[in-house]
Structure 1
């Protein structure tokens, strides 16, 4: 892996940790468990909508090669797998809930999968727009 690629991967890993930390802080003291069902649904919708313009911005900013679909998979990877690992450590091990947290914290689990649909679709649309230019 060349230095430029390593730089982007490290930046994505750092971004995933900062993103996770932000969501933990917003969800204090109990990582959204005290929030009502309706509030959790609203936050899931808002975060999903927030990433519609944020994903193209990140893809353009972090990956200069314009291979948006391929890079959207990297973005999905870094915003799901590390966050899942952080949640396993934070909720599963430290919180003592094991992997039973997955259905209990469904609003987190949603993003472990949805970003694998949302980001590649955005990447495909971005590549289609390049072809249409």
Structure 2
């Protein structure tokens, strides 16, 4: 993967923490566990759809070129740190175990889906005529 500046890495890491914090606040007090299944499913669909336009915006903001390659960095920062934050919050603070990846399936979905979604969106972004020179 192409290297990014330290400032870009720190910006992406901060963005991932803020994103995680918003997810925790929206799901307060039990991180969505009391939500009915259909609401969790609707939230997964809504977040997935939200990140379709957000991905090009974030890529243009942080990584002005080589969008497909940089989308892998974006996927990394929106999956690995969030998994770590979830582990700390759910397992270490909340007293759950690693089975949280199943009971919190609506979080675990994104640990994998962003690795497919973000490069696909970036690939489509590169196909736009105005982006070929970027």
TM-score under structure 2 length normalisation: 0.92
Instruction: Tell me how far apart the structure 1 counterparts of residues 18 and 125 of structure 2 sit (CA, whole Å).
Output: 26
Structure 2 Cα separation of the partners of residues 126 and 6 of structure 1? 25
1:94 aligns with 2:93: yes
* Cα displacement (A) at 1:124: 1.0
Counterpart of 1:33 in 2: which secondary structure?
coil
Q: List, as ranges, runs of 4+ consecutive aligned residues in structure 1 with deviation greater than 6 Å.
A: none
Please list every run of 5 or more consecutive structure 1 residues that lacks an aligned counterpart in the other structure. Answer: none
1:17-74 CA distance string (max 9 Å, x none) = 000000000000100000000000000000000000000000011112x100011000
Q: Provide the TM-score with structure 1 as the length reference.
A: 0.93
Q: CA RMSD in A?
A: 1.3
Q: How many residues align?
A: 128
| Helix, strand or coil at the partner of 2:127 | helix
